[in-house]
Structure 1
């Protein structure tokens, strides 16, 4: 846990191919200390990588586990710590692996929570002694609230009312985390766990949690893409894209977004940490970013990073050299990628693009190098 006692800065790896040694050396070469690693896009032995099948978890597929271990070895060789971040759990298959459909089964049926606990117990048993592992991020961007009757970015009062109704049921996210951590601790008493807030790790979604989790090796994580209407891919398709800084839809109404509003929004998880008497060293901004081709993206990154600088937070930018989506690959600058990038995806071959330090990447590069 002492790794997390001082600010750690890194990047997200959500690649379709397991990253090679050059990839990890490049990230480490910029000054990163950790990588948040997702494996759900890798070719699985069965239906779902490492789970076998998210419809019914039985055991860890041996060949999937070997791919993961080999990748961890490469990260360790590059001097990087790794946070494992599954996008799927039993009964919660990641939508992009689920024909674009949100999978709500985990949040309806307690049997899937039991399967998820078995999965994490098995995985922790296998990885507990690997020197690269810095934390287990129990699941990426959970959203038990989505079909549970709670609007995104609802008021704190409304969130608390909703949780009072759902507490103890299948949509009780703190209860699920408690169950998963208990399973991990049966085989691994030491490795830290990282837990995302609800509503896809929204920075305001810890607001309904009434207490911290009862484990002294927990890191609390939020993701920062707000205002999503301005930072995300659909904005590029608008005839007149929403600008940053400027007014943008949020929580059902238009709000002015700028450095001050970014700071106010990120103050919400900080205020929750203070109420829970938890230090800033236990808060992580596990993802943040904006579409690199949008005017104002560099200013947005600077505004978000400035808040994290001020509070000495851990962070991982989204994303580093992603080989199946170029939207937030800042080393590519602001130009469109050529056809050979998409052709490599179709053919399942390695990413052919060369990367470099660009103006779009500069707010991140400068801080990694500090």
Structure 2
């Protein structure tokens, strides 16, 4: 009798978990990115949850591993998931769940596509140069979907972070929509066909998990204007479509810190091949592009995600930029996750640190592979985000 009660309880819990996860994305969810070099602790997740975040976009690729590539083992020769790394990942998911946070798994590398920062800063184009390399990516995602099926923390699988199949082609970044459409027409069905690649992965995942949400980044490093060439969304209804917001990049990125004449926001800043005035209106117009594509494609706005956004915190005007990006995103009722929360390997988008230089102990710990020793609390800069979590 007791066995039957336990069995029924497990079924009911499983049904509740599926229902909770399915409804999670029905209203705007706000969270953070975690791209740390060490697996996040319980304290880390508790602190993020205490600020009001509901989800975390988790990248594990920097974590220590006995293999060349965490979880994959070796991106050049994928065999199976590393059991030790998988156990570590599940432990981290358990911590997030304990803190009442949902998790979106976001690999930076896939088999035959190693993340540049783990590849001596060399862009790995194999996955986009020949479809034969898609097979291992499909095997990896099938293995991972099986391994994580039913975990209560999982809110979605973000199949790959910031794909750029367009990079080694003749399509310029931020080309106009007509140029993008012409490029896709020439490359449709080829190894650079990002929607087709995603379609193959989703089909593979659905063989083992019919319920998990799948998040798809736009091309050209998840640019907000790069959905414009997609003829439509995928037929699967449990898909989220994500873009990242760092435009204008010449302002938000760390090279702007050391420029003799910095680009300031609001102001005239390069974008694509032209100098454009950037301010609240331009931010709103740019962020609206993927939403306009979604509406045209019959995709509900609740399936659209601003998966990353940020600016180098020591650049004057970063606070105004964050305010304007958040205002635009919230006016559209988007899901969003800021970049990044308490990153232990790069401090420039760690807004709790404010606008001052981080203490040297931060860098010393990084060199030694030790936990980040810097204590954090909210700052005027972080408050801009915190108030909207």
Q: How would you bin the TM-score normalised by the shorter chain?
A: over 0.9
In structure 1, runs of 5+ residues without a counterpart are none
**Residue in 1 that maps onto 2:281:** 260
Which deviations, in whole Å up to 9, do the C-alpha atoms of 1:93-126 show, x marking residues without a partner? 0000000111101001212111100000000001
Gapped regions of structure 2 (runs ≥ 5): 1-21
| 1:242 lines up with 2:263 in the alignment | yes
Match of 1:138 in 2: 159
Is 1:30 aligned to 2:57, yes or no? no
Q: 1:302 aligns with which of 315, 323, 333?
A: 323
- Tell me what 1:343 maps to: 364
Counterparts of residues 15-94 of structure 1 (less than 5 Å): 15-94=36-115
Residue 309 (structure 2) pairs with residue 288 (structure 1): yes
> In 1, distance between residues paired with 2:114 and 2:259?
30
1:325 aligned residue: 346
Partner of 1:247: helix, strand, or coil? Answer: strand
Q: How far is 1:61 from its partner?
A: 0.6
Deviation larger for 19-28 or 107-116: 107-116
Say how many residue pairs are matched: 368
After superposition, where does 1:108-123 map in structure 2 within 5 Å?
Answer: 108-123=129-144
Q: What do the CA deviations read for 1:44-80 (whole angstroms, capped 9, x no partner)? A: 2211011111112110010010010000000000000
Q: Deviations over 1:145-181 (max 9, x none)?
A: 0001110000100000000000000000000000000
3-state SS of paired residue (2:76): coil
CA distance in 1 between counterparts of 2:130 and 2:168 reads: 14
Report the equivalent of 1:274.
Answer: 295
Q: What's the offset of the Cα at 1:253? A: 0.7
Alignment equivalent of 2:150, drawn from 124, 129, 137: 129
Partner of 2:7: none
Distance 1:8 1:267 in 2: 18
1:283-324 Cα offsets, whole Å, 9 max, x none, are 000000000001100100000000111111100000000001
Which secondary structure state, in structure 1, belongs to the residue aligned with residue 388 of structure 2?
Answer: helix
Q: Secondary structure at the match of 1:12?
A: strand
SS at match of 2:381: coil
Do structure 1's residue 208 and structure 2's residue 208 form an aligned pair? no
Aligned-partner SS, 2:68: coil
Q: TM-score, normalised by structure 2?
A: 0.94
2:375 aligned partner:
354
User: Which stretches of structure 1, 4 residues or more, deviate above 4 A after TM superposition?
Assistant: none
Distance 1:249 1:299 in 2: 18
Which structure is larger by alpha-carbon Rg, 1 or 2? 2
CA–CA distance in 2 between the matches of 1:259 and 1:23?
33
What RMSD, in angstroms, separates the aligned Cα atoms of the two structures? 0.6
User: Match of 1:227?
Assistant: 248
SS class of match (2:276): strand
| Residue deviations 1:310-348 (CA, integer Å, cap 9, x gap) | 111100000000001001000001001121110000001
